[in-house]
Amino acid sequence: MAADKKPILLCVDDDPQVLNAIDRDLRQEFRKDYRVLRAASGEEALATLHELRAREETLALVLADQRMPGMEGVELLAEARTIFPDAKRVLLTAYADTEAAIRAINNARLDHYLMKPWDPPQQLLYPTLHDLLDAWQRAYRPPYRGVRLLGFQWSPLSHDLKDFLAGYMVAYQWMDFETSPEAQALLAAKSLTAADLPVVVLEDGTALPRPSPTDIAARIGLNVQASQELYDVVVIGAGPSGLAAAVYGASEGLKTLIIERQTPGGQAGTSSRIENYLGFPTGLSGSELAHRAWTQAVRLGAEFLAPQAVTELCVQDGYKVLTLTDGSKVSTRAVVLTTGVSYRTLEVPGIDRLSGAGVYYGAARTEARSCEEQDVYIVGGGNSAGQAAMYLATYARKVFIVIRGASLAASMSAYLIEQIGNTPNIEILPFTEIAEVCGQDHLEKVVLKSHGQLTEQPARALFVFIGAKPSTEWVCDVVLCDGKGFVLTGRDLVTDPRYADSWKHSREPFLLETCVPGVFAAGDSRAGAMARVASAVGEGSMAIKFVHQYLDE
């Protein structure tokens, strides 16, 4: 435990000589494991206790003299019990106050009383205090010192902050305001109310009411502003392809910047277990893969901006100028678009109102523990849905996979189908779809439609995996996209008669180059890409090869 976070012993006496003596003896014996504070009156001690509570300090023991003007020791120790109910309370008394001390032990629930003088302390003071502090230590649970998130279980804002912190692997403690007295006390200590929730309390004690991810980013060490005016290559999106491009760009000496609007890893980053990625025979989570690559790119010299989004791309004298959401601009010689895809929304009654409050797009791993011994539903039959089902099955009572077809064979890998078949609490509902979701402030039940029949079923959570659309809306007026919004690259620009006029340069476009020279696309948002982590990593790596060729022209 850090020195400034040791538990505290507070001694209180209005007689300066006695106070000096008890302070000296306590420090001599206990300073290795405890801090010793002193107060010259009951009122001063009470103010100290309130200050310690506001600073979230830990109080182990209060040792107070009985006969003090203004506030007697018994009265102070009774007040101390309301502020620090777990701290040990000891009364210092003269021989004449023995009966009063015994009554206080019975009535005010003091832990002990000690006679003055206590010389020698090795016999008359230390053994008693050691016994009391040993008992306190056995029951003591050190307070959590990291980031804490206070909120409502069914708040979409709380859910978004959980996902943000988890996405950057920031350790945090979730505190449900409705069920946690500790959360309620902490909120009051910060002079905040339920209207300020969700609240993020940082390790230094700073409270951020209703923060945005950007508000938190700088506090946890993320960069939200570029450090340079011009880069060799800017990678937009930190999914597998973007992270691969950042690793290879930085390792090959390019001044590389990667911009991510949410959290690293993209859709792959939310996968609970990727088991078919080369080199990991036992599999690994998507977040682990993302953060390995993130760390690798930073070590090699890449710069990251997150959470930050690009809203506009324009070309000026061959340079690419990117406008960010905060209005700042970044210039670069080349761009790699790895914007990935976003989940398609489920269009049924009640879905918008309950999104983030029991209805989640993607795996939403931060909500898995809240599904313990409950029924959950998954919509979709792809690999992402299968991986989520296997993960949720370790918590939920029953996991139902809702698919419109007859089986998973057409859309899911064989290894996942076999795992699901061997998991007793996963059930597949073929020829079924969600017709409606219901609940007051959170999801309570789903309405299933199968063979024309409607049935209502209780549900703790609904996870939606029904395909994806490219996140390219902001750039489709600059680079050429197909009818579904996927970016067209390479030979498609010159061989397809529909796009023959889009490439207006003497050389042919490079394999991953868009209709704008020096702007490349890789990963799931590129037309014709294969939706696999390995292929995305490969395309991101290849894009840097073509960036080099473009810069050498």
Please give the pLDDT value at position 1. Answer: 39
Q: Tell the residue number behind the tokens 């929730």, with chain if given.
A: 197
Rounded to 5 degrees, φ, ψ at 394 are: -75, -15
- Give Cα 342 distance to the centre of its chain: 20
- The residue behind tokens 């970044």 is 330
Residue 96: what pLDDT? 58
Please report the domains of the chain, with CATH numbers, ordered by start residue: 3-139 (3.40.50.2300), 147-220 (3.40.30.10), 230-342+469-551 (3.50.50.60), 351-466 (3.50.50.60)
In tens, the pLDDT along 421-450 reads: 999 999 999 999 999 999 998 999 999 999
Say if residues 365 and 391 touch (Cβ distance below 8 Å). yes
The residues, any chain, with a CB within 8 Å of residue 83's CB and separated by 6 or more, are: 49, 50, 53
In this structure, what token pair is assigned to residue 526? 């590129």
Per-residue confidence (pLDDT) for residue 516, from 0 to 100: 96
Q: Report the alpha-carbon distance of residue 501 to residue 515 in Å, rounded.
A: 10
Supply the pLDDT for residue 4.
54
What residues pair up with 470 in beta bridges, in sequence order?
341
Residue-level pLDDT at 8: 96
The whole-number pLDDT of residue 533 equals 92
Amino acid at 13: D
For 425, how many CA atoms within 13 A lie in the half-sphere containing its CB?
17
Measured distance CA(237)–CA(334) in Å, rounded = 14
Which residue in 259, 396, 238 sits closest to 322, CA to CA?
A: 259
CA-closest candidate to residue 201, choices 315, 50, 56, 348:
56
Report whether 61 contacts 129 (CB < 8 A): yes
Is the whole-model pTM more than 0.85? Answer: no
In 252-356, alpha helices (H)? 286-300, 351-354
- Residues of the chain below pLDDT 50: 1-3
Give the Cα separation of 113 and 37 in Å (integer): 19
Question: What is the pLDDT at residue 70?
Answer: 87
